[in-house]
Structure 1
């Protein structure tokens, strides 16, 4: 059986600003199905997920390829230990689906035409 804890520490710790907050939990079943749950500091969320989720998808691919080589099935999940902390206090949540916060932008001044 692969050492998933060492693999995930190897892949994630260099990315994190707070590597001591990294938690890796495992759960396995009798049918070689393994659930790997990872938790880290909320400040590191953007770094771990990457642009468009590419970084976390690459980590998931490496973990799944390692499991496939060992003849196992793995489900890799990111666990958020504080689900309500990442919301800004000064920004109210949207009340309806189409209701987004609006940003006030000053319109540019129109320049006169030089002839």
Structure 2
């Protein structure tokens, strides 16, 4: 008898909906690959909800990923989660462009007085 595949869509919906202002916009697609041992989950939601779903530093989305990976491991499967939601996709949910490296001190920085 083949073990039942967990309801990944239901689990993700349960974990993500509390973060959403527009829960009706949540879309989840699960694709079973490689003889049922690999699961590919795609999730999409409104861009305005992106910050809440990802959380500070990506903590919320990491917790969601950990939960579904644990369920998959218990079922003898591996799972991959792709997230789409408003604009460019980044794992940490940060929309700011990366800072350029600072090679020299700022020109307006005050100078320390020297002892003579």
Distance in 2 (alpha carbons) for counterparts of 1:83 and 1:14: 21
* Equivalence for 1:21: 25
For 1:34, what is the secondary structure of its paired residue?
A: strand
Which structure 2 residue ranges, 5 or more long, are not aligned? Answer: 89-96, 101-116
Does residue 14 of structure 2 align to residue 10 of structure 1? yes
Spell out structure 1 runs of 4+ moving beyond 2 A: none
Q: Deviations over 1:73-114 (max 9, x none)?
A: 00112123x536xxxxxxxxx7xx73xxxxxxxxxxxxxxxx
Q: Which residue of 1 aligns with 2:65?
A: 60
Distance 1:72 1:50 in 2: 27
Q: Which residue of 1 aligns with 2:52?
A: 47
Once residues 84 and 47 of structure 2 are traced to their aligned partners in structure 1, the CA distance between those partners, rounded to angstroms, is 11
- Alpha-carbon distance in structure 2 between the residues aligned to 1:14 and 1:79: 17
Correspondence for 1:71: 76
Q: Give the alignment's TM-score, normalised by structure 2.
A: 0.69
1:38-79 per-residue CA deviation (whole Å, 9 max, x = no partner) reads 100000000000000000000000000000000000011212
